Structure 1
Amino acid sequence: MAQRISYNHNIVKYSHGILQNVEDDVVMEFPLTIFVNDQEFATMVCTPTHFDEMVIGFLASEGVIRFNRDIKSMKIDENKGIAYVELFAEITTSQEYFSKRFIGSCCGKSRQFYFHNDARTAKTSSSTTTLTPVQCIDLMNKMQNNSLVFKETGGVHNAALCSPTELVASRTDIGRHNALDKLYGYSLMNRLPVRDKVIVFSGRISSEVLLKAAKIGVGIVLSKSAPTDLAIKLAEDLNITAVGFIRGSSFNIYSHHHRIVQP
């Protein structure tokens, strides 16, 4: 049985000098606990859609799996809020491995990651995909217009995996990381080549978001919002084009501007 995404809640709304009782759509928060090889691995608070994609994308992002075929079986019990994942191989689940700060280097540059698994799974992009300015703005508009849940509730993040001209997959979640994990899971489950794809995102490009994009394997990230300084540094190092503040007919290019070309 599919989970509800939002529900009606009675509120008091103030508008134009008047208080009135109305109904409002409120997005739902759902906790999903993931067990890997019978061990509790993580609990994710999410929007209850595309659980399978989110779990697979999360495990890949954490370096637990590399491909969908690494999973022997997966069962999601929506009533209990539990995902049971069995892998063909054992995993390392020690706290030290998944939370230890790590500093490494690549191609002669200093690269700093927060966690061990970031260093193992983040990819330096080799993408040769380019976009025109009009395509950047058009993809952002397409993603925004495609998000019915955001229009109804205003309480979710939107993310889309795109070709230069079309949305390939669009996902919504209360957690920006979850939305990206769903896209990652989608690409793995469908064996979708992503080097020529673009991620379009509604939220801020933080270092975590940039790393998620690197792990997925894209070379361009488009956002409606701003990047952080660490995200820009990582984008420079990982050869990813970060574009922010896509609003109306303008935007800012923060790294590797060669991928945004005038026709």
Structure 2
Amino acid sequence: MNHDVMKDQPIIAYNNGAVSEINDTIALEVPITILVNGIEFGTMMCTPTHIEEMTIGILASEGVILTPSDIDSLSILKEKGYVYVQLKKEDVPIDSYATKRYIGSCCGKSRKFYFQNDVRTAKTVMTKHDIHAEQIINLMEEMQENAINFQQTGGLHNTALCTTAELIVNRSDIGRHNALDKVYGYCLKNKVPLKDKVIVFSGRISSEVLLKVSKMGVGIMLSKSAPTTLAIDLAKDLGITTVGFIRGGRFNVYTHPDRVSFD
């Protein structure tokens, strides 16, 4: 058992009239507070694995850093629940990143961004890379087969970065946003190019999830679940192909179907 991901919990189980006391495997949730240049950036409720990747992914997606080379030092005190990040630039206005304010901005299109940082960091994806219907089914199956922690707990979201042919890296977390940040952090640390990649996702595609994918620069997103209306609107404008309800040999294409081939 990976004790950073799960723990046993005694429970009372009821099954067709029978009551029993058993141990169940439960997903671990802990607070991790990130401090940047000595200022509290935010606290993430997360699964305490791949914390460095998650921190890098969060800071990049919020526009605090462009690459890991902007970080002078990063130290993790897992037992106390803190990550200390020192940037090479000491005059970065951390408070302006940590405090998100509601705004509406068209940015020349029909987009509606609700957070200031998203206006600055969201990217329109221009990739021409495409994917075949059978590859969509296969990638979802491969991600689920590799989701060992989910199979043991039933309480984690999974995100995989893939080529159209195979899985590259898989990350899990109680929070779907955190799982994406861990994948993004992995890519930044290892200088993985993202234009020709695919994100495979276990959860609902919300507007926040869609924006994170756009900030990564990935043009194809596959999910076992459904997108929201705002996520679809953003995907149309940001050039992202969204495919949902990938289950049992079927799926729905919601935006930019030109990247999906069926022949």
CA shift, 1:9, in A, is 1.1
Counterpart of 1:149 in 2: which secondary structure? helix
CA shift, 1:129, in A, is 1.4
Report Cα offsets for 1:43-86 as digits up to 9, x if no partner: 11110100000000001111111111111110111121110100
Structure-1 separation of matches of 2:82 and 2:187: 23
Report Cα offsets for 1:141-197 as digits up to 9, x if no partner: 111110111000000000001100111110000001000000110110011100100
Structure-2 separation of matches of 1:207 and 1:39: 28
CA shift, 1:3, in A, is 5.7
CA gap 1:195/1:171 in 2 versus in 1, 3 angstroms? same
Structure-1 separation of matches of 2:115 and 2:36: 20
Q: Please, which runs of 5 or more residues in structure 1 have no aligned partner?
A: none
Contact 2:132 2:262 (C-alpha < 8 Å) held by counterparts: yes
Which amino acid is the alignment partner of residue 77 of structure 2?
D
Structure-1 separation of matches of 2:135 and 2:97: 43
Contact 1:97 1:116 (C-alpha < 8 Å) held by counterparts: no
Which amino acid is the alignment partner of residue 231 of structure 1?
A
Residue 85 of structure 1: aligned partner: 85
Instruction: Note if 1:170 corresponds to 2:175.
Output: no
TM-score with structure 2 setting the length = 0.95
Q: Please, which runs of 5 or more residues in structure 2 have no aligned partner?
A: none
Residue 101 of structure 2: aligned partner: 100
Structure-1 separation of matches of 2:183 and 2:5: 18
Contact 2:161 2:183 (C-alpha < 8 Å) held by counterparts: yes
TM-score with structure 1 setting the length = 0.95
Residue 59 of structure 2: aligned partner: 59
CA shift, 1:126, in A, is 1.2
Structure-1 separation of matches of 2:66 and 2:105: 21
CA shift, 1:96, in A, is 8.3
Which amino acid is the alignment partner of residue 38 of structure 1?
G
Counterpart of 2:42 in 1: which secondary structure? strand
Structure-1 separation of matches of 2:212 and 2:27: 24
Which amino acid is the alignment partner of residue 192 of structure 2?
L
Which residues in structure 2 correspond to 1:215-254 (within 5 Å)? 215-254=215-254
CA gap 1:219/1:86 in 2 versus in 1, 3 angstroms? same
Residue 200 of structure 2: aligned partner: 200
Contact 1:98 1:117 (C-alpha < 8 Å) held by counterparts: no
Counterpart of 2:9 in 1: which secondary structure? strand
Count, aligned residues: 261
CA shift, 1:41, in A, is 1.0
Which amino acid is the alignment partner of residue 78 of structure 2?
E
Percent identity between the two aligned chains: 53
Residue 184 of structure 1: aligned partner: 184
Contact 1:102 1:119 (C-alpha < 8 Å) held by counterparts: no
Instruction: Note if 1:12 corresponds to 2:12.
Output: yes
CA gap 1:96/1:60 in 2 versus in 1, 3 angstroms? closer
